[in-house]
Amino acid sequence: MKEKKLASIVLMQTSVAKPEELAKLNVNILARLHGVSAPNLSRAFKKHYSIRLGAFLQYLRIVAFEDLMKKNPYMHINAALKILDIRSSSHFGQQYKKCRHMTPYEMALKCQLEKLLQERTSA
């Protein structure tokens, strides 16, 4: 399979994955699904999208975490991390803060505040 086609298939496959599905995806699993080696898949993805596949998957997990918190602002952070099969909350917190410049807890509080404001304006 051509590199560009492979990279675009992986992009589509990961972008539309539900949080529960995304939790089970990593570079090695995606490579096995497509019958290529993990380094070749990573190289093709980076070549065509200028981001490492592992970093892209981490970004998708961050977006999925935010979506879960926005849908249910009162969900405990650990419950959201469990849905995403993130075992190290401290590592995720570091990655989240690096990407979003706030902690997951601050994000949860922001979602709760937005929900309260939304309820007040609709009442």
Tens digit of pLDDT for each residue in 43-88?
999 999 999 999 999 999 999 999 999 999 999 999 999 999 898 9
Q: What pLDDT is attached to residue 1?
A: 66
On the question of pLDDT at 18 being above 90, the answer is: no
Name all domains of the chain by residue range, CATH numbers in brackets. Answer: 3-122 (1.10.10.60)
Tens digit of pLDDT for each residue in 90-109?
999 999 999 999 999 999 99
Q: What pLDDT is attached to residue 123?
A: 66
- The structure's pTM equals 0.87
| Contact between residue 27 and residue 54 where contact means Cβ atoms under 8 Å apart | yes
23 — pLDDT class (breaks 50, 70, 90): confident
